Amino acid sequence: MSKIFITGSTDGLGLMAAQLLVEQGHKVVLHARNDRRAADARATLPAMEAIVVGDLASIAATKRLAEQVNALGTFDAVIHNAGVGYREPRIVTEDGLEHIFAINVLAPYILTALITRPERLIYLSSGMHRGGDPGFQDLQWEHRPWNGAQAYSDSKLFDTVLSAAIARRWPGVFANAVEPGWVPTKMGGAGAPGDMAQAPITQVWLATNNEPAARVSGKYFYHKKLRETHPAVNDIHVQDQLLAQCEALSGVPMP
């Protein structure tokens, strides 16, 4: 039996992964953005171990969330599932950051740095990461015309880069990225063609399975199969620059 924390797990793929893990007998801690969503999750999955609350759009709230998680003890795996999509206008957070970057990139960076190191880390990416721009000239979209799809693609590229960077820096941890497919979640939209039943399987497998294929690091999976990534993912200079940018923005160094 493993103990797993999943961000963004009150609905969608996060909740589906949590339900699978509970069915398999694992202890699961959920994450909600606010108390209302936490109450809904408790009603939906009463067999969960616990739920923590925090808005990942806020640096301070994300730091407090890490404290809540650490107060529950050490975890075997953390699934960084939380994310927002590309159908929104440019939104600026309370910290002056672009909303998609803040939630999709900076929040998992902060949580990775501050949560007591688990054995396994899984980061949710997307096939759209292959269209991402690995440049760092205008991360917050302050000077470019807004393009939500590009901002989302960039964020998923940076999530995959973060996964690879952690795999390189922390050799004792299995850190991997997962492409769940374009599926009809709230983010994916009703017309998405992917198989919802398959979408949470790989992250659950990576979080708990002990077969050699699951105990790897620095890989990118789609339906439990390895896939190629954007060339920037394994560029050490891109990895180091992302970590430096996130540290500068958050004030949190990566151990």
pLDDT level of residue 119 (50, 70, 90 thresholds) = very high
Active site residue 156: yes
pLDDT at res. 181: 74
- Residue 157 maps to a domain: yes
- Residue 30 maps to a domain: yes
- Residue 45 maps to a domain: yes
pLDDT level of residue 205 (50, 70, 90 thresholds) = very high
Average pLDDT, the chain: 95
Q: 5 Cβ partners below 8 Å, 6+ apart?
A: 28, 29, 31, 52, 69, 72, 75, 77, 78, 79, 115, 118
Q: What whole-number percentage of the chain has pLDDT above 90?
A: 91
CATH number at residue 201: 3.40.50.720
Q: Are 79 and 118 in contact (CB under 8 A)?
A: no
Q: Which of 1-5, 91-95, 179-183 has the lowest average pLDDT?
A: 179-183
Identify the active-site residue in 156, 220, 224, 225.
Answer: 156
| Domain count for the chain | 1
Q: Are 179 and 127 in contact (CB under 8 A)?
A: yes
Closest CA relative to residue 222, chosen from 130, 103, 104: 130
For the segment 80-103, the average pLDDT, to the nearest whole number, is 96
For the segment 11-35, the average pLDDT, to the nearest whole number, is 97
- Residue 148 maps to a domain: yes
Identify the active-site residue in 27, 109, 123, 152.
Answer: 152
pLDDT level of residue 130 (50, 70, 90 thresholds) = very high
- Residue 98 maps to a domain: yes
Stated pTM of the model: 0.95
pLDDT at res. 87: 87
Pairing of strands 174-178, 50-53: unpaired
Domain residues for the domain of 73 are: 3-250
- Residue 141 maps to a domain: yes
pLDDT at res. 86: 87
- Residue 207 maps to a domain: yes
For the segment 243-247, the average pLDDT, to the nearest whole number, is 98
The pLDDT tens digits of the residues spanning 144-192 come to 999 999 999 999 999 999 999 999 999 999 999 999 976 556 565 556 5
Active site residue 152: yes
pLDDT level of residue 197 (50, 70, 90 thresholds) = confident
Query: What are the structure tokens assigned to 171, written together?
Result: 């050799």
- Residue 255 maps to a domain: no
For the segment 96-125, the average pLDDT, to the nearest whole number, is 98
Measured between alpha carbons, how far is 201 from 101 in angstroms, rounded to an integer? 26
Q: What whole-number percentage of the chain has pLDDT above 70?
A: 94
Measured between alpha carbons, how far is 5 from 13 in angstroms, rounded to an integer? 14
